[in-house]
Amino acid sequence: MPTLRLALSQVNPSVGDLAGNADLVRSWTRQAADAGAQLVLFPEMMLTGYPVEDLVFRRSFVAASRAAVERLAADLATDGLGEVPVVVGYLDADGPPQVSGDAEPGRGARNAAALLHRGVVAARYFKHHLPNYGVFDEDRYFVPGDTLTVVRIGGVDVALTICEDLWQAGGPFAAARQAGVGLVVNINGSPYELNKDDIRLPLVRRRAAEAGAAIAYVNMIGGQDELVFEGDSMIVTADGELLTRAPQFVEHLLVHDVELPAATAATTTETVADGLHIVHSTLDGIPAAPTGPAVTGGLIEPVADEAEVWQALVLGLRDYVNKNRFPSVVLGLSGGIDSAVVAALAVDALGPDRVVGVSLPSQHSSEHSREDAADLAKRTGLDYRVEPIQPMVDGFLANLSLSGVAVENLQARVRGVILMALSNQEGHLVLTTGNKSELAVGYSTLYGDSVGGFNPVKDVWKTLIWRLAKWRNTDAARRGETAPIPENSIGKPPSAELSPGQLDSDSLPDYDVLDPILIGYVDGDLGRDGLVESGHDPAVVDKVLRLVDTAEYKRRQSAPGTKISMKAFGRDRRLPITNRWREHG
């Protein structure tokens, strides 16, 4: 059986940076070639970054992408890498955008893969299955391909596929079986969700069985707005054996020798299978078959949920800040658990010298909260400042007749004004710290504690916030480092401290009760009856659902934040603000 040395390049492209992404391809192909690779794979939409969203409709961008892939092929040859076949994702088009007046049926923008060899694009493939759920709107942007591209490389027939092609039965993988291929390449821009890695391996195994072929699955890493990509690239044999698996959330070159069946079918025939035309071609002159001991990429075992989520949040925050070229971040440090977790995430992502924490005490701020904020700053080494807000609040109250909740919200808004002023003066990105539970029920002040440009814990339930804090401290102890989060911030009852003796539990059910209801309603789309049948108290369910339904206008104005769940607010969950539907008991 022939052996192909595959190199799966798990890298971090940036949307719109065609030149920078091409440079990544060139440098990682050099590393792969130095490792003796005979086929190098890069993620979905590698050249443009992913997702490009409405840039698809900009014809100048499409033209630039098409020119970039041709130029990249030539540059690889100039680099002395022309003999190494390279698969790279990019944006193509064979007609006007589907939203334009001159659109043509069956033609338009394409989510494409190019096989680069000897200075040219030797083969192309257009994604067949286009996802249109959750964060994906690919039916809005692309036209599906109707051809399976099969290329003979080193005596092995290799089929090209892209991301969603793997997630749907039939289509390219069924056609690959009929074509008798030995390897299916699947390039991905598959966003992270908690426990998705547990789903991915069984899925790849099912598709390997469907295709009767080995699968090389390569996924990007990095943050893009709300999305974060974790990598988790792998190679699986036709009978489901996991040969090698890359680590999550880091760039990595996964090199592995794979024994594959020799191609036997004719390469000149064009057939139709499972609704797809199968087009064959052959590459000549690839690097020689590897000699010596087999190269193995190793198997990285998935980590615990808390470690996985922490890595996702750190990477999402780091890339949002760095790719948007913010020099630093600023956040309010209340001494509570949410701001403590966000501060620790920020320090892990950016380093303490790029994080400013501001204590903003009022007359209702407890002494222990002030001490906890200062303690966290000492533990993490961030730039710590204290800006008392009471004189400013008193100035407002001297000129406005306010009472009750209006005074509470005034304090939050004064804090927001101070943080935004520091942002304007010093260039920091303001981080807001509201968790998903608070966002769900509207437990926040618009233009107050909700103010900010990015929210690292927007998609993190309150109960998970506590788990993350405990995990991070335990992990620090394991490594012999100072735990970043004060134990008092973890253990004390949560409070906004906007009125005397205030606790979250005055307004909300305990989070151990609240979060399961929210998870069922928001993530699971359960109605009122389904939640009650699950064992939740009907009166509590009615209160929680009323709070969620009436807070949509607040969520619509919230800052973006890293998605870690199956249904994040914003990109995933899209409900009308003006909406009279209610779940009735």
Catalytic residues: 44, 127, 163
The torsion angles phi and psi of 434, rounded to 5 degrees, stand at -75, 130
549: nearest Cα among 526, 579, 519? 579
Lookup result for tokens 């993530």 = 523
352: helix, coil or strand?
A: helix
What value, to the nearest 5°, has the Cα angle with vertex 159 and ends 97 and 224?
50
Kindly state the tokens that stand for 327.
């020099």
CA separation for the pair 432, 339 (Å, rounded):
8
- In this structure, are strands 234-236 and 242-245 parallel, antiparallel, or unpaired? antiparallel
Q: What is the DSSP string of 478-536?
A: HTT---SS-HHHHHSPP---SSTT--GGGTS--HHHHHHHHIIIIIS---HHHHHHTT-
Half-sphere exposure of 215 (CA within 13 A, CB side): 37
* Angle at which helices 172-179 and 196-211 cross, to 10°: 40
The torsion angles phi and psi of 527, rounded to 5 degrees, stand at -85, -175
Are 110 and 94 in contact by the 8 Å Cβ rule? The answer is yes
What's the first-to-final CA gap in the chain, in angstroms? 66
CA separation for the pair 47, 68 (Å, rounded):
8
Q: What is the DSSP string of 86-118?
A: EEEEEEEESSS-TTSTT--TT-SEEEEEEEEET
Instruction: Find residue 125's DSSP bridge partners.
Output: 113
Contacts of 325 (CB under 8 A, 6+ apart): none
Kindly state the tokens that stand for 77.
């040859």
Kindly tell me the burial class for residue 400, based on how many C-beta atoms sit within 10 Å of its own C-beta (0-12, 13-18, 19 or more).
Answer: exposed
CA separation for the pair 32, 180 (Å, rounded):
27
The torsion angles phi and psi of 371, rounded to 5 degrees, stand at -65, -40
CA separation for the pair 103, 333 (Å, rounded):
53
CA separation for the pair 216, 200 (Å, rounded):
13
Q: How many Cβ atoms from other residues are within 10 Å of residue 520's Cβ?
A: 18
